[in-house]
């Protein structure tokens, strides 16, 4: 896609069209947040910019859209940090299983402006610049047959997101994995290429995975944010004042996303239950212990994550110290 120009009725001055992509449905919190992003920009710089949102893979899969964004053909997108790991290994920190003990710790970390700033500091090489992080809840395994313990993962093949860390995670779990683009998971389940997947509860309903996978096990193995990223070429091409408007718009979108998230999850759980999905509590400690050695392995093989890793871990220990 190319940034088109459109003429407003009342003036001959051309507006720059800002194209924003994501792969979720229009009911997803990411999309609702992007409506706020659009509103903010058009309210504060509507004479210069018109924002167009392309949901549900209309601008391609995550893997395709990030390339369009890096080339400057689209200006913003929402993408899981897992998809950014191949470009910059620092992003792998978010994919470390059980990096956090609670969702509150995770939310505190991803909304820390220093974390986003740190990731954006190598933006010239990456071609994308993160402006805000959205919660995507916690990820758990779901499959066609029940996963009650880590033993039940063995011998089964699960779809995982992009990035080396996800493959490593499955190795540490002694299970097989297949990296499949988000929009292709349903058909892979249907064709029997995989036995299950792992995600938050929304995927059961919006991506219809719950039609095929009837057992969702709350092991909470990862908490991986979605990031609102801008094209670095684009962000470098605009005046500083405009950059500040986009940055504020991203923070506004972040607030909206966090506000609607919990309610969306509750609704998704109800809808999934109506589809016949059984939600199972499992022994999280069993999962955590099985995979614990991956932390040391990650720090050894990706030394560039050290600072962010320590920051993330310190949130939990600060709380423990206060007790
Ligand atoms: C979640 C997340 C997406 C991601 C997807 C996936 O739905 O919000 O950004 O693409 O998981 O598993 O690929």
Compute the 3-state secondary structure of the chain and give helix, strand, coil in percent, each to the nearest 5.
Answer: 50, 20, 30
Task: Work out the percent of the chain whose per-residue pLDDT is above 70.
Answer: 94
Ligand 1 binding pocket (C-beta < 6 A) is 23, 62, 80, 136, 161, 182, 199, 203, 226
Q: What is the pLDDT averaged over residues 228-234? A: 96
Asked if 2 and 12 touch (Cβ cutoff 8 Å), the reply is no
Q: Give me the residue label for tokens 């659009």.
A: 38
CA distance 144 to 195: 6
What is the CA(180)–ligand 1 centre distance, in A? Answer: 11
Q: What is the pLDDT averaged over residues 215-233? A: 98
What is the CA(182)–ligand 1 centre distance, in A? Answer: 6
131 by DSSP, 3-state: which?
A: strand
Asked if 254 and 133 touch (Cβ cutoff 8 Å), the reply is yes
161, 186, 204, 227: residue to mutate for ligand 1 pocket, most atoms within 8 A of CB? 161
Asked if 161 and 140 touch (Cβ cutoff 8 Å), the reply is no
pLDDT (tens digit, 9 = 90+) per residue, 269-298? 999 999 999 999 999 999 999 999 999 999
Could you give all domains of the chain from N- to C-terminal order, each with its CATH number?
2-84+101-135+225-265 (3.40.190.170), 139-223+268-322 (3.40.190.170)
298: phi then psi, degrees, rounded to nearest 5: -65, -45
CA distance 246 to 258: 18
CA distance 5 to 312: 43
55, 62, 182: residue to mutate for ligand 1 pocket, most atoms within 8 A of CB? 182
Q: What is the pLDDT averaged over residues 122-147? A: 94
Amino acid 321: pLDDT: 54
What is the CA(275)–ligand 1 centre distance, in A? Answer: 21
Angle between helices 29-45 and 240-274 (to 10 degrees): 150
Among the listed residues 144, 143, 149, the one whose alpha carbon sits nearest the alpha carbon of residue 198: 143
Amino acid 318: pLDDT: 77
Residue 124 CB contacts under 8 Å (≥ 6 apart), including other chains:
232
> Does residue 61 carry a pLDDT above 60?
yes
Amino acid 7: pLDDT: 44
pLDDT (tens digit, 9 = 90+) per residue, 176-206? 999 999 999 999 999 999 999 999 999 999 9
What is the CA(226)–ligand 1 centre distance, in A? Answer: 7
197: phi then psi, degrees, rounded to nearest 5: -150, -170
Asked if 113 and 95 touch (Cβ cutoff 8 Å), the reply is no
């Amino acid at each position: 896609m190319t940034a088109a120009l459109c003429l407003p009725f009342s003036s001959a001055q051309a507006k720059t069209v800002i194209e924003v992509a994501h792969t979720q449905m229009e009911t997803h919190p990411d999309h609702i947040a992007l409506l706020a992003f659009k509103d903010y920009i058009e309210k504060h710089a509507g004479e210069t910019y018109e924002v167009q949102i392309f949901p549900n893979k209309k601008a391609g899969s995550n893997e395709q859209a990030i390339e369009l964004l890096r080339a400057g053909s689209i200006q913003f997108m929402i993408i899981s940090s897992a998809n950014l790991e191949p470009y910059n290994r620092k992003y792998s920190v978010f994919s470390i299983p059980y990096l956090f003990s609670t969702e509150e710790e995770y939310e505190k970390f991803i909304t820390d402006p220093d974390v986003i700033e740190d990731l954006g500091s190598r933006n010239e090489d990456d071609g994308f610049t993160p402006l805000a992080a959205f919660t995507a809840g916690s990820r758990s395994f779901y499959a066609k047959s029940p996963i009650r313990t880590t033993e039940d993962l063995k011998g089964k093949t699960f779809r995982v997101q992009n990035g080396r860390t996800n493959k490593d995670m499955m190795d540490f779990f002694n299970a097989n994995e297949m990296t499949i683009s988000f929009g292709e998971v349903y058909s892979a389940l249907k064709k029997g290429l995989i036995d299950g997947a792992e995600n938050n509860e929304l995927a059961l309903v919006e991506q219809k995975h719950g039609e095929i996978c009837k057992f969702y096990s709350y092991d909470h193995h990862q908490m991986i944010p979605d990031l609102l990223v801008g094209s670095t070429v684009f962000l470098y091409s605009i005046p500083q004042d405009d950059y500040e408007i986009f940055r504020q718009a991203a923070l506004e979108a972040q607030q909206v996303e966090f506000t609607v998230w919990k309610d969306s999850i509750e609704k998704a759980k109800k809808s999934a239950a109506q589809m016949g999905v059984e939600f199972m509590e499992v022994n999280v400690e069993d999962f955590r212990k099985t995979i614990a050695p991956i932390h040391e392995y990650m720090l050894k093989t990706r030394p560039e994550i050290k600072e962010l890793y320590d920051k993330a871990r310190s949130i939990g220990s600060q709380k423990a110290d206060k007790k």
